[in-house]
């Protein structure tokens, strides 16, 4: 399959900061998503955001994000997130897809998962049929959990070295251009 148009969904935003730990999830995923946009554009893809930066008191619905990607006709949907749990020892990155029989999404996820891991554990490819951004898109979709904001080492990496993850993901996608 060929990828040309890439929908970039920067998770959370506005009144929803996502996970909070050593940093807030939105403080990680917005720069990460912005860098992904720029790197994909430079690599000859047609990236677009599922939503603009919401105002502080707004929340962008998952439905609106998915409708935007479906309307534009993306070839791939990438939702960017960072994990957070109570245990500060939890570490690593993971990639979520709707189902394993989503062949193309699974193929992309398997190639992207080790690229995200970089310096922390690769928690692998996982499935979830309840994530709206995976369930309601008409194109292959992956949800990236880039690391844990509740782990000091992961959080530091996500602030200081996230571009390494971004360029790795773009390198994977170049193989589908």
Tokens 């939890």 belong to 90
Q: Could you give the CA distance from residue 147 to residue 157 in angstroms, rounded to a whole number?
A: 8
Instruction: Give pLDDT, residue 10.
Output: 95
Instruction: Give pLDDT, residue 56.
Output: 67
Q: Could you give the CA distance from residue 134 to residue 38 in angstroms, rounded to a whole number?
A: 23
- Residue 145 is a catalytic residue: yes
Mean pLDDT, range 101-110, rounded to an integer: 94
Q: Is the pLDDT of residue 120 over 80?
A: yes
What does the mean pLDDT of the chain come to?
A: 95
Closest CA to 142 of 47, 76, 51: 76
**Where do the structural domains in the chain lie, given as residue ranges?**
5-174
pTM: 0.96
Mention every residue, 6+ apart, whose C-beta is less than 8 A from residue 68.
Answer: 7, 50, 51
The residue annotated as part of the active site, out of 145, 152, 160, 164, is 145
Considering the domain 5-174 in this protein, what is its CATH number? 3.40.630.40
């Amino acid at each position: 399959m060929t990828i040309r148009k890439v929908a970039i969904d920067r998770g959370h935003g506005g009144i929803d900061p996502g996970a909070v730990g050593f940093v807030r999830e939105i403080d990680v995923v917005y720069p990460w998503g912005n860098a992904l946009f720029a790197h994909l554009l430079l690599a000859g893809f047609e990236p677009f955001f599922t939503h603009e930066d919401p105002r502080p008191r707004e929340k962008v619905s998952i439905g609106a994000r998915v409708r935007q990607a479906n309307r534009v006709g993306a070839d791939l949907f990438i939702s960017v997130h960072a994990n957070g749990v109570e245990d500060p020892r939890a570490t690593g990155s993971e990639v979520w897809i709707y189902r394993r029989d989503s062949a193309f999404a699974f193929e992309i996820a398997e190639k992207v998962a080790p690229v995200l891991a970089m310096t922390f554990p690769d928690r692998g490819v996982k499935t979830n049929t309840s994530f709206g951004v995976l369930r309601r898109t008409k194109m292959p979709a992956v949800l990236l959990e880039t690391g844990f904001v509740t782990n000091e080492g992961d959080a530091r990496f996500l602030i200081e070295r996230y571009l390494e993850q971004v360029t790795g993901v773009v390198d994977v996608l170049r193989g589908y251009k």
